[in-house]
Amino acid sequence: MDYFTQIEVLYSPALLKPLLKDVANRYPGSTFDAVVPKLSVERLGETKIIEVSYADSNPDKAQLILQKIARGYLEYSRDQRQSELKQSLKFVNQELPKIQQRVDLFNKALENLRQQYGFFDPTKYSENLEKQMLSLAQQRQSLEGDIAVVQLRLKALRQKLGETVALSQSKSYQELLQQFQVMEQQIAIESARFGPNSPNIQLLERQRQNILPILMREAEQAVGNQLAAAESELQITLARYRALTKADQTLQRQYKQLPQISRQYNEFERDLQVATASLTRFLQTQESLQVQVAKTMCLGNCYQNRIS
């Protein structure tokens, strides 16, 4: 409230008439029209002080009127201030649940993305994908050389022994080989998400190792001991190569999707930061307004006691 408005309030009938009723009981004739001409309200220079004076031949009457005006103005100011503070507090209380809801919404959206794609940091996940794809390319290149060597050795053995039976005709062997290939593919894909030393990867590694001796026994039963080692080695190497190829295709698709996922993740993260900052400000404002309301009530009572 500016000084001009404060002075207008001190001169207003709404403030003075109720106060002068008590004065009139003690000093008849102390009406609004009779008191206002003798009342002076002005600001002292450039200070924040408003001086109120009243000229009357009876000093007791003048003192009583000034006390009534001071108390009335303080009560008016307190009530106005409390009303403004309570309105502000009401607005803050209404907005807080909405802001909290936005914070919860963006938190949930981020958590859903993390669970869906298995990462906590898109940048780190991108780096892991690149490393894993490079590793897969190197492993496949190495396996291509291994396959060529084993195929030549197997061909020589077959020509020497005259064997024509192939492991592809063994149903039980092919079922085990399919399990091995699936595990190999899972290991390659999950390593990009959790790292090679994670409990999930170690469990899959153990399961894969457990299948290898079973594959060898099935191979021996199907083609005999002499060809079993070479035939099984070729089938396992081919299965590993196919698994790594499928894993690489999966990682390539994920890598292509990553820019869009990262943009979405970053947008949710920015929205969450903005909403959280807004929530913090509103909570601080709520606390500040509550304190101000309490102080205003206390100060009003203190001023009344000093004036009375």
Specify which residues 50 forms β-bridges with.
43
DSSP for 61-114 reads HHHHHHHHHHHHHHHHHHHHHHHHHHHHHHHHHHHHHHHHHHHHHHHHHHHHHH
Joined tokens for residue 112: 């859903």
Sequence-separated contacts (24+) of 59-62 with Cβ below 8 Å: 61/23, 61/26, 61/27, 61/30
pLDDT at residue 98 in the model: 95
pLDDT at residue 306 in the model: 46
pLDDT at residue 96 in the model: 95
For residues 268 and 110, the answer to whether their CB atoms sit within 8 Å is: yes
For residues 35 and 20, the answer to whether their CB atoms sit within 8 Å is: yes
pLDDT at residue 288 in the model: 93
User: Tokens 């403004």 belong to which residue?
Assistant: 84
Q: How many CA atoms lie less than 13 Å away from 286 in the CB half-sphere?
A: 14
Q: Name residues of the chain where pLDDT drops below 50.
A: 162, 164, 303-308
- Which has the closest alpha carbon to 16: 42, 54, 58, 60? 54
Determine the Cα–Cα distance for residues 177 and 172; give it in Å rounded to an integer.
Answer: 9
pLDDT at residue 308 in the model: 46
Q: In the chain, which ranges are continuous DSSP H helix?
A: 3-11, 13-26, 32-35, 59-117, 122-161, 171-194, 199-223, 225-307
User: Tokens 């205003």 belong to which residue?
Assistant: 296
pLDDT at residue 222 in the model: 61
How many residues are given for the chain?
A: 308
pLDDT tens sequence across 163-215: 545 566 677 878 888 888 888 888 888 777 777 777 888 888 888 888 878 87
pLDDT at residue 300 in the model: 53
Q: Is the dihedral of CA 144, 148, 153, 154 positive or negative?
A: positive
Determine the Cα–Cα distance for residues 308 and 67; give it in Å rounded to an integer.
Answer: 8
DSSP for 225-258 reads HHHHHHHHHHHHHHHHHHHHHHHHHHHHHHHHHH
- The single-letter code of the amino acid at 203 is L
- Which has the closest alpha carbon to 69: 25, 139, 136, 19? 19
Burial class for 134, CB neighbours closer than 10 Å (0-12, 13-18, 19+): exposed
pLDDT at residue 307 in the model: 42
